[in-house]
Amino acid sequence: MDAANYISTLDRLELLNQEPFRADFAFIDLAVDERFLQFLYDSDRQGAVHWRSLLENTRWQASWQAGPVFLEFAGDSHFRDKLKERLTQLPLGILVESSESPEQVFEWAQGWLLALADSDERLFRFYDPRSFRPLMATLQERSRSMVNPGAAIYWSQSGAWYAYRSAGQTETGDAPEGISLSQAELLELPGFRLADRAMVYTNVYRDYLPYSENPGVWVLEQLQEANSLGFESASLQERWLRLRIRNGAPLLGRLDYREIMNKPDMTPADRLNAMESILESTDATT
């Protein structure tokens, strides 16, 4: 799939810019914030919030302290508001609004957790807010059934709240189909994650981007180039993007940059350090 198709697929998602004012549940990744349970106890002085590990009855149960937990707010809007604030600061998880019972929501979530296999040999971190929009794009038409009828999922990303709300009932009136991810869908997911990151960077650097009919596609093409050259982390890819913006032309069009890329003893970070140093020296002399 080319860059334009990745971006257009993400653009077509039926997402809302909406804060979770009525969320009933949350899924939080303790691996992201080892102090989260202390935050919960400090914020929930009345003991209204109930929680349990999403790893219950899986082979990973003994590692629950570094895994996802399920929270039921039980009407505690004060705790929900404090949690919302924390979710804007760290990619901890997602919030869920649903009229279903806590047990039904828990079972739905465990279904996603085990969506990568028929057994619990592999776990799927569906609750990562950085991956939720890419997941929906990967599923495409099947994304309509990823959320139970009438429910909504909320997540915070780059300071903004997003929501996906399912229809009140499925077209057939039946329960949603069983949760699973095919190998083909798994292969598409990294590409959509990269495209999602490109859309975030497009908003961040919009005032500095060169003219393009579709700025998001242009940014994604730069990230794809960076990834293909061995800059695999988000931080390195963003640095490559900033260099490309500042340089005003393809980076590998420069002989000095090509020489850096051809040196076998340099790490990806070292290459970017060298490129940035050259550009800063050039800026200082012009």
Using the Cα atoms of residue 31, residue 92, residue 222 and residue 272 in order, give the sign of their dihedral: negative
Domain ranges of the chain: 3-181, 205-284
Give the CA dihedral 87, 90, 96, 101, nearest 10 degrees: -100
**Angle, vertex CA 57, rays to CA 107 and CA 136, nearest 5:** 40
Q: Tens of pLDDT along 108-127?
A: 999 888 877 555 567 888 89
Q: Tens of pLDDT along 238-249?
A: 999 999 999 999
User: Rounded CA gap, 241 and 199, in Å?
Assistant: 13
The whole-number average pLDDT for the span 124-141 is 87
pLDDT exceeds cutoff 80 at 1: no
pLDDT at 168: 60
Q: Tens of pLDDT along 171-225?
A: 433 444 556 677 788 888 999 999 999 999 999 999 999 999 999 999 999 999 9
| Strand partners of residue 16 | 163
User: Rounded CA gap, 3 and 221, in Å?
Assistant: 6
User: Rounded CA gap, 223 and 195, in Å?
Assistant: 8
State residue 77 phi and psi, 5-degree precision: -70, -30
